[in-house]
Structure 1
Amino acid sequence: MAFLALLTLGLAGCESSDQQELQQWISTQRNATIPRIMPLSAPTRFAPQSYDQQDAIEPFSNQKLVQALKRDSNKATANAALITPELSRRKEPLEAMPLDAVAMVGSLTKAGQPVALVRVDNLIYQVRVGNYLGQNYGRITAVTEAGIELREIVQDTAGEWIERPATLQLLEGTK
């Protein structure tokens, strides 16, 4: 028991000397450090601007809303004119297949008109200008020995219907 008391007193003595050293170091560092405060820059001077849009349409007026609605309805009419005929016609069998599943394997001339031979699921079909291919309302616009040119109607990122060209190239050397 006496040993424990001596050990506790010894440790307490060591702790206080370390504590004093630490306190002395902190006060030395505090006295040696000089705070640097950067002065604030002067605020920028406000220059008022005159309002020169008195004759323009107010941004929250009904007239502005009417103009925006007319602009949107004109776009919708143009889009409807592009897609409406496609929706009202009877679909052809090759429109059920995606365009990447269709392969052009040859061409020939029948009654003076170019005809393309396309393969879908190991079946050969004859297509000509005016026929439809693929799932994007792809209408054939030209048939050449090297490929088939199409006009597709697709939706862009804004949801509007647009026309885009597509090509189906002749596959050479395939079985």
Structure 2
Amino acid sequence: MKLTWLYYLPCCVLLGALTACGQDPAISADEKLSPITSQIPPPHKPMTEPAVVAPLVYQLAKDPFVNPYRTAPSSADTPNTPSAASDHTASRPSSQPDPDATKPNDSDVAKESNRPPVRESSAAIANHPSTYQPTPKGKRVRIDSSRVRQPLEHYDLQMLKYQGVLSDHSRTMALIASPDGRIHEVMVGQYLGRHHGRVVDINADRIELIEAVLAEDGHYYHRQSMLTFIHK
């Protein structure tokens, strides 16, 4: 009897294993996931829009170390020593110039800092390997003071050199060399030079621009200019 029980023991174990494996695993997984899937998901908070940061580009301005409101010292601030000044002047030989006579005071420095830049003369422009050919000013115009200056607007137009042109079926780009040796790609609509020179046409021989030149009356006027290609 004891041997008979041992004979049926492996069969019982095998039958129990087959019964456990026969259960559908998908049903067991659904029973475990049903409490989770039946829950109501929490509401999602709307995403906040990212803050738009305006790009900051350095703009060349006046010298910050010159105080335009500083004036020359008044007579009340200077010591009243006419005798010492006269003795100092009398002791100096007449052939030597007075160094204080040619020294500018603070008011002159302030006036010079606020004065508009002096234009180069035609002789100074002729000393450059010039490709700068302006024509007389035209009608009066207004400029966009809020426009961000482009890299080649930090140079005088006569300092730029037209080196070549690249073109395909859709666009044409001019190759401009700046004084620092870099080559810039310029297309129609971009700006060159210090006088708001906007590129209006590019061809193999020249680049045509329309500038807004500041005149002595304080207004801006149209002026047609061009950069010609230098054949080496």
Q: TM-score, normalised by structure 2?
A: 0.38
The structure carrying a bigger helix percent of its residues is 1
Q: TM-score, normalised by structure 1?
A: 0.50
